[in-house]
């Protein structure tokens, strides 16, 4: 990776992407002593806000705004909203670069790419709704009503959270998942099947093992030939890095479109860094590159990229991953990173009110998924950080605190 060059305390830093990663970068830069100009550029008309509550509090009607508690005026950060990035021209020795937007160019001495991810659309489903922005959430909330026939495509984290809110609003909900069980891309089928019972308990019709053939007016046609009546359709089938605007700029991307960065979040172009959902970073902890699209990563990478700009001499960016989901009255939390071939160990039974799944490699805790067991998550996250080796018998006993289940 190229070294960051031409930056100093009088330089202009431009952060493109006004989500959590970008906002955190700007705030930490100023907090930790950056004296130069900071400009934060966002595509949406809103000031930076939190996205996780969109499928929770906003859809449930508990909140109309999720704005971040940051005063950009007080921070002396120039906030430019409603500007879409269209490209960039790298700078050179003594020459600033330029971020190109649909409202003109923004010069920079150092640029941070934090444009996040964008939801994947379902081909041929132009009438379907996506849930990504505050405006998306408010528009969908206005549609939810008792008796509405709602079909959700995708039983991932977002699908489960939208189903939860829709049932609370009195909608008739059907969830269609092409995989064998909920969350097929993130969890083994045996763990996903344990979650399938939650849908039935909430009165949601879950259809796994079949895809969507077409979205028609008033109905969804499934690949197995069945028709589902549908007043509204919501698609939640994952997201991809929002990096199409970087084509031809010299910033290297991986096959999925994520920005390739080094252990300090620097891109292949001098003076250009990246953070958040759009990056692929090297992880010694996981033994490969990772692209993570969760709140905790956005927060931590936003702070880490600010540290790189400030010349901080800290460890390489490689945190223990963490995310959470609130669905069907349960708090689901995950920490670490499991891989195919890791040993799966249950703490409790999937039929219990609360349970945890552990993933071990050569006895060392690699990851855990905790359902309504916050203490397991807190202790397990620290054990993953340490690479602690567990006693399998004690670790499988939900009455034994995880911190007391160390081998030896």
pLDDT in tens, the chain (408 residues): 333 433 444 489 999 999 999 999 999 999 999 999 999 999 999 999 999 999 999 999 999 999 999 999 999 999 999 999 999 999 988 899 999 999 999 999 999 999 999 999 998 888 899 999 999 999 999 999 999 999 999 999 999 999 999 999 999 999 999 999 999 989 999 999 999 999 999 999 999 999 999 999 999 999 999 999 999 999 999 999 999 999 999 999 999 999 999 999 999 999 999 999 999 999 999 999 999 999 999 999 999 999 999 999 888 999 999 999 999 999 999 999 999 999 999 999 998 999 999 999 999 999 999 999 999 999 999 999 999 999 999 999 999 999 999 998
φ and ψ of 98, to 5 deg: -140, 130
Q: So what's the pLDDT on residue 140?
A: 97
- DSSP characters over 139-154: HHHHH--TT-EEEEE-
Residue with tokens 């891989």: 339
Give the pair of three-digit tokens for residue 211.
Answer: 């895809």
Of all residues in the chain, what percent are helix, strand and coil, respectively (each to 5)? Answer: 25, 30, 45
13-118+239-309 against 129-235: fold identical = yes
pLDDT per position as a tens digit, 288-302: 999 999 999 999 999
User: CATH number of 129-235: 3.40.50.2000, 3.90.1150.110, 3.40.50.300, 3.50.50.60?
Assistant: 3.50.50.60
Residue with tokens 């400030």: 310
Q: So what's the pLDDT on residue 8?
A: 45
Q: So what's the pLDDT on residue 313?
A: 86
Give the pair of three-digit tokens for residue 109.
Answer: 């001495």
List the beta bridge partners of residue 344: 359
Q: So what's the pLDDT on residue 300?
A: 98
Residue with tokens 């499991």: 338
- Tell me the domain boundaries of the chain: 13-118+239-309, 129-235, 329-404
Sheet holding 322-327, edge to edge: 322-327, 330-336, 364-371, 355-361, 343-347
Give the pair of three-digit tokens for residue 169.
Answer: 């609003």
CA separation for the pair 248, 259 (Å, rounded) = 13
CB neighbours of residue 363 within 10 Å: 13
CATH architecture, domain 329-404: 2-Layer Sandwich (3.30)
Domain 13-118+239-309 has CATH 3.40.50.300: no
The model carries a pTM of 0.94
């Amino acid at each position: 990776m190229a070294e960051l060059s031409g930056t100093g305390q009088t330089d202009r830093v431009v952060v493109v992407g006004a989500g959590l990663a970008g906002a955190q970068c700007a705030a930490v830069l100023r907090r930790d002593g950056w004296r130069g100009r900071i400009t934060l550029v966002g595509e949406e008309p809103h000031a930076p806000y939190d996205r996780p509550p969109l499928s929770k509090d906003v859809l449930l009607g508990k909140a109309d705004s999720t704005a971040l508690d940051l005063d950009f005026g007080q921070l002396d950060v120039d906030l430019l909203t409603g500007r879409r990035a269209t490209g960039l021209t790298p700078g050179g020795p003594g020459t600033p670069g330029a971020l190109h937007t649909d409202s003109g160019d923004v010069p920079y001495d150092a640029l941070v790419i934090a444009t996040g991810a964008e939801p994947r659309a379902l081909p041929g489903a132009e009438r379907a709704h996506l849930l990504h922005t505050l405006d998306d959430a408010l528009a969908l909330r206005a549609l939810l009503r008792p008796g509405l026939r709602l079909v959700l495509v995708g039983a991932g984290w977002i699908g489960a959270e939208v189903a939860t809110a829709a049932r609370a609003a009195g909608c008739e909900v059907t969830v269609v998942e092409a995989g064998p069980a909920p969350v097929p891309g993130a969890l083994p089928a045996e763990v996903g099947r344990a979650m399938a019972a939650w849908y039935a308990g909430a009165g949601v019709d879950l259809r796994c093992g079949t895809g969507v053939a077409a979205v028609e007016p008033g109905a969804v046609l499934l690949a197995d030939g069945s028709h589902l009546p549908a007043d509204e359709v919501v698609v939640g089938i994952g997201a991809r890095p929002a990096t199409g605007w970087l084509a031809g700029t010299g910033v290297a991307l991986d096959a999925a479109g994520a920005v390739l960065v080094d252990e300090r979040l620097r891109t292949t172009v001098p003076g250009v860094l990246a953070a958040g959902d759009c990056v692929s970073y090297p992880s010694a902890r996981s033994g490969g590159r990772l692209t993570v699209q969760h709140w905790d990563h956005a927060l931590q990478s936003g702070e880490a990229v600010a540290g790189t700009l400030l010349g901080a001499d800290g460890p390489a960016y490689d945190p223990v991953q963490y995310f959470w989901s609130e669905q069907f009255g349960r708090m689901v939390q995950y920490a670490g990173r499991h891989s195919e071939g890791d040993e799966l160990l249950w703490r409790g039974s999937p039929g219990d009110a609360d349970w945890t799944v552990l993933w071990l490699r050569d006895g060392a805790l690699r990851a855990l998924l905790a359902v309504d067991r916050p203490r397991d998550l807190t202790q397990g996250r620290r054990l993953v950080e340490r690479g602690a080796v567990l006693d399998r018998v004690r670790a499988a006993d939900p009455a034994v605190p995880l911190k007391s289940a160390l081998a030896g």
